[in-house]
Amino acid sequence: MVKRHRLFLAAIGAGLLALTGCEFDHEPTGPLQQEPVAIDLGQADHANVELDIGAGELGVRGGAQKLLEGQFEYSLPEWKPQVHSSLTGSHATVTIREPEGISLSGKRRYNWDLELNDKVLLDLALNCGAGQARLDLGDLDLRNVTVHMGAGQVDLDLRGHPTRDYDVSVSGGVGQATVHLPQGVGIRAEAHGGLGSIDVSGLEKRGDHYENSLYDNAKVNMRLRVEGGIGEIRIID
């Protein structure tokens, strides 16, 4: 009799756990919110742009007629990104932040799809958490790019035809970073990792860094510094 009672209690407990799991997987989301974003160019010829996204997916590329254009998609109204911009003379500042408290589970979605102007000189800072970031920056007029990543994946594509020297810094924790380098420019790269792997192709090892044959001899040079935690770093020429 005691054994049957224990089995009955165990069955009830398993059922409650199953119901809890179902509730977690089917949390209410409501209709998918789609919010366009557009920031006018004005007289800006230089911009500082900062993008802070902790979860979800981020896509950034060139091609905007304005300073910044694109669309946000998110499952709950309170997840609307916080957009701040200002223009002082020819200098623009743009900051877009993910609000606190976002938890992606079940069918919840959180995506940023953004375009930046190709003609404006950019200092670009991106803070990516546990999501995925696809950054196609080769068509942009870059001066400085800084990427901080957490446990997610970052694909940084710099393939294009830059007309000025610029610096790129990528630092991260347990995620994976892949950097595609531009052709026809001088490249100097430093890559340091904790417990993770570092894979560099197309560059020659010279002391504590990597270079191609064009570095310091080309009209345009790019300096790259990558620091990882326990993730994987791939640099592809």
Q: What is the 3-state secondary structure (H, E, C) of the chain?
A: CHHHHHHHHHHHHHHHHHHHHHHHHCCCCCCCEEEEEEECCCCCCEEEEEEEECCCEEEEEEEECCCEEEEEEECCHHHCCEEEEEEECCEEEEEEECCCCCCCCCCCCEEEEEEEECCCEEEEEEEECCCEEEEECCCCEEEEEEEEECCCEEEEECCCCCCCCEEEEEEECCCEEEEECCCCCEEEEEEECCCCEEEEECCEEECCEEECCCCCCCCCEEEEEEECCCCEEEEEC
Q: How many other β-carbons are positioned within 10 Å of the β-carbon of residue 102?
A: 18
Kindly state the average pLDDT of the residues 129-155. 94
Pick the more confident residue, 29 or 173.
173
Under the banding of pLDDT at 50, 70 and 90, the label for residue 20 is: very low
Per-residue pLDDT at 72 exceeds 90: yes
CA 111, 121, 85 angle in degrees (round to 5)?
Answer: 50
Give the list of residues 6+ apart from residue 232 with CB closer than 8 angstroms, or none. Answer: 176, 177, 196, 197, 199
* % the chain with pLDDT above 70: 86
Digit-coded pLDDT (tens) for 159-187? 999 999 999 999 877 888 899 999 999 99
Lowest-confidence segment of 59-68, 120-129, 185-194 by average pLDDT: 185-194
Per-residue pLDDT at 4 exceeds 60: no
- Angstrom distance (rounded) from CA 186 to CA 217: 7
**Mean pLDDT in the chain?**
87
Amino acid identity, position 126: L
CA distances, 94 to each of 56, 198, 206, 218 (Å):
20, 33, 38, 32
> Residue 163 — φ and ψ, nearest 5°?
-110, 0
